[in-house]
Amino acid sequence: MNKSFGTVAALMTGASVFAINLPSAALAQEQGLPAVRNLNGKLTFGYLASNGNDAPEGGYVSGAMSVPLGARVGAQLDFSADNATGDNGRVDGSKGVGLHLFTRDPNRYLLGIYAHRVNVDTNLGTAHNDRLGVEAELYSGNFTFAMFAGKDKVSGAGQTKTFGSATVDLDYYISDNTMLTASAERAYDKTSGSIGVQHLYGMGSVPMAVSATIGGFEGEMTASLGATVFFGNDGLSLKDINRTNDPRIRTGASAPRNGYFQSLKSGTLDTPFVPNPKYKIPITFY
């Protein structure tokens, strides 16, 4: 675990240097809104099931804390952990941490960098996924267009490999508290996609949202349900929370795609034994 967090720390250091050099003049906010409104957080509990090989199913938890770093820059720390059990009784898990550093005008865009380390259980030991890249969001009325582009390094369970990674998400707010989302990712030389819905109940001191997602990968399907509790978002709508406080979580079972599970299944890692994947399909929670 110390080695894992050491790797993340190194990625975070590089990300911090990059973020400090983000151009400020061209990205200055015109409306005086900060990149992050205030210190805030979220915690998600969920359950996923697949009809794929060995029909894995299980639960997960993920969370994030966002902080303002001045008027133009914000940061968010992500974490996740999950376990899944297949029909053969095998239990696998993953855990990870990630960091976002970004500048944002909540009326127009988000631009930043993202890094994470996720460890995944396999029959050969622990596989490590290190990801580093850029992320962006564009806001237009009830639409949000989001993307990530970067590199993935997978090591620890077979030959170390590096892959390009790209994710796109399109969100549409039916109302300020109900969001539809469609996502697609190309990662580990594989493509997957999903659709989902999220609704925020209540806008009091501790608002809660529920989410449902279905996805597809190489003819297999995954379904998921989740509940998210928000902290430090008093009186904000779901749209305002997503645009003025916390970016989407990208680690582990809460990531839009779980390409490392896909690559383990498909043999992309060149391992002599291919363990059963837990979640092969996109899971998008905020």
Helix (H) or strand (E) holding 243: helix 238-244
195: burial class by Cβ within 10 Å (0-12, 13-18, 19+)? Answer: middle
φ/ψ of 279, rounded to 5, equals -130, 110
pLDDT tens digits for range 74-111: 999 999 888 877 666 566 778 889 999 999 999 999 99
Structure tokens at 284: 């998008």
Q: What is the pairing mode between strands 40-50 and 57-68? A: antiparallel
φ/ψ of 262, rounded to 5, equals -65, -45
pLDDT tens digits for range 3-58: 444 544 544 454 444 444 444 434 444 456 899 999 999 999 998 887 766 666 88
pLDDT tens digits for range 186-227: 887 778 888 999 999 976 678 999 999 988 877 778 888 999
Beta-carbon count within 10 A of 223 CB: 16
| Cβ density class 20-52: b for 16+ within 10 Å, e for less | eebeeeebebeeebbbbbeebbbbbebebbbeb
**pTM across the whole model:** 0.79
- Its CATH architecture, for the domain 2-27+35-266, is Beta Barrel (2.40)
